[in-house]
Structure 1
Amino acid sequence: MLNIFDIVKLTKIDHKEIDSNQIVVTDGNGKPNAILTELLNDVVSNMRIFVDMNEVYSVDDLMRELSEHTPLPSDVLEEYEKVLREPIYNINFVPKRGQVEVIVGEG
């Protein structure tokens, strides 16, 4: 099963890596999960600043890079890891908004 990291790593919009404001976490009914979305947006922002995603192939790789290249405390990195490992059930592209909805949990 794919997880959120896989989607962040593989998804491109107009041939560019997704930006933090382009990804939203929702439940199976399409209701946004504000907590996971905010946490994921923070992860993606820090990835874009501190990590070359061409050199990262797994959540473990990303966590290692973030711990080496950011001043983030270990508890924050643990939360990042949790959201990145969250299994996804579906993905929905919203072209008009340039967004990707990552669906976690069944409807």
Structure 2
Amino acid sequence: MLNVFDIVKLTKIDHQEIDSNQVVVTDGNGKPNAVLTELLNDVVSNMRLFVNMAEIYSVDDLLLALSTHTPLPSDVLDEYEKVLREPIYDINFVPKRGQVEVVVGEG
């Protein structure tokens, strides 16, 4: 099963890595999960600033790169790991908003 990291790694919009405002975490009914969305947006922002994703192949690689290149404390990295390892059940592209909805719970 794919996880949130896989979607962040593989998804491109107009041939560019997704930006933090382009990904939304929802449940199986389409209801946005504000906490996970905010956490994932933070991960993506830091990832885009400090990490070359072409050199990253796993959650462990990303967390190591972030711990090396940022002053983020271990508790923040632990929260990043939780959202990145969250299994996904579906993905929905919303072209009008330029967003990707990552569904992390069954409907």
TM-score normalised to structure 1 length: 1.00
Aligned residues: 107
* Residue 67 (structure 1) aligned with residue 70 (structure 2): no
SS of alignment partner, residue 75 of structure 2 = helix
| Root mean square deviation, CA, Å | 0.3
Alignment of 1:46-85 (within 5 A): 46-85=46-85
Q: Tell me, which stretches of 5 or more residues in structure 1 are unaligned?
A: none
Alignment of 1:90-101 (within 5 A): 90-101=90-101
1:63-106 CA-to-partner distances (Å, cap 9, x unmatched) read 00000000000000000000000000000000000000000010
Deviant stretches of 4+, over 3 Å: none
CA distance in 2, matches of 1:64, 1:55: 12
CA distance in 2, matches of 1:49, 1:61: 16
Look up the match of 1:89: 89
Q: Tell me, which stretches of 5 or more residues in structure 2 are unaligned?
A: none
- Pairwise CA distance, 1:34: 0.1
TM-score normalised to structure 2 length: 1.00
CA distance in 1, matches of 2:56, 2:2: 16
